[in-house]
Amino acid sequence: MPLLELARIGKRFGADRPAAVDGLTLTLEAGRILVLLGPSGCGKTTTLRLIAGFEEPDEGQIAIGGRVVAQAGSRGVPPEERGVGVVFQDYALFPHLTVEENVAFGLARRPRTARSAQVARILDLIGLGDLARRYPHELSGGQQQRVATARALAPEPALLLLDEPFSNLDADLRAQMRDEVEKTLRATKTTAIFVTHDQEEAFTIADEVGVLNAGRLEQLGPPETIYHRPATPFVAEFVGAADFLPGVVTSEGIVTEIGVFGHGERREPGTKVRVMIRPDDVTFVPDEAGEAVLTRRYFRGSETLYCLGLPSGGRVHSSQPSSAAFATGQRVRPEAHVLHVVAFPAE
């Protein structure tokens, strides 16, 4: 039995407004990490609030551990009785309590000895045992984030919800904290749902990624599947740089401006499609007689991204080693080596 089940969940804030969550259905097995990925306003945080019990669904039902905790038209189980921990974007630490007092906050019903032992265990797990007597204002941003995670983990929730917990950290600290939090979740075998709009973050930490768009779940699957075999053009563009080349299905494959690609799907010859091309699928060779022109160059440190203008007026991007240096305006011959051919119906 899945630990979490969402069945056709819907939520709308006002009759004249579009649905914040629209027919969302998914399941999550115990011990797994699900990342909900999508742009601002797509329904990620609302979904977490519905699971936690801070909002009630207008449609559908939510079950945790086989128990229905929320159902449209009836009063749901209170948040404190759902066995769910939450790490907020702003951490929401109590400024007048020390680190150990913050972590112990959700353990009030436990005997004092057991409570102290659990706090000590969790603080050691996240590497803050030496800072137990400090107050939040005496901690760095990364340390505050760890305390917030420790407080949510201390009651040993069935499910942990994390709402963009690293958004207030700088890039280097963000990557470090992401790795540390994942390590903690794996060590405690905690089932978790993590919300972000950062695809690198999602792919790094997730067992499964759910891509949301306008309240709807566009695709759910392992990170590799989401990237290499996106189900919709929206997913293809959101989870990584993608260009789309017009193509026509023939008996030999899909004919495009930069090559012919094989495909496994059954489509009638003559069908018009759009083929997804990633920058790492495309390379090029300098050639004065080449049909493409380098129109832009973006140096990104570990790589250089080139934009290739095609005779049709279309374009594709090519990722090259940072040591590669080609001048804009240079004519080239593009070559595509697509490992996973993904084609969508032409618009």
Helices (H) and strands (E) in the chain, counts: 8, 20
Given the structure tokens 């080239």, which residue do they identify? 332
Q: Which value, in Å, is the radius of gyration of the alpha carbons in the chain?
A: 24
- With 0-12 / 13-18 / 19 or more C-beta atoms within 10 angstroms meaning exposed / middle / buried, residue 222 is middle
Given the structure tokens 């759009």, which residue do they identify? 274
Among 341, 29, 333, smallest CA distance to 207 is for: 29
For residue 90, what are its two tokens?
Answer: 């702003």
- The sign of the CA dihedral 19, 62, 192, 130 is positive
Element (H, E) at 86: strand 84-87
Q: What is the pLDDT of residue 236?
A: 94
Cα(first)–Cα(last) distance of the chain, in Å?
41
For residue 340, what are its two tokens?
Answer: 């996973």
CA 136 distance to own-chain centroid: 28
Amino acid (1-letter code) at residue 294: L
> What's the DSSP call for residue 311?
T
Alpha-carbon distances of 193 from 49, 160, 188, 200, rounded to whole Å: 12, 6, 15, 16
pTM of the full structure: 0.88
Domains of the chain in sequence order: 4-237 (3.40.50.300), 241-345 (2.40.50.140)
Give pLDDT < 70 ranges for the chain: 264
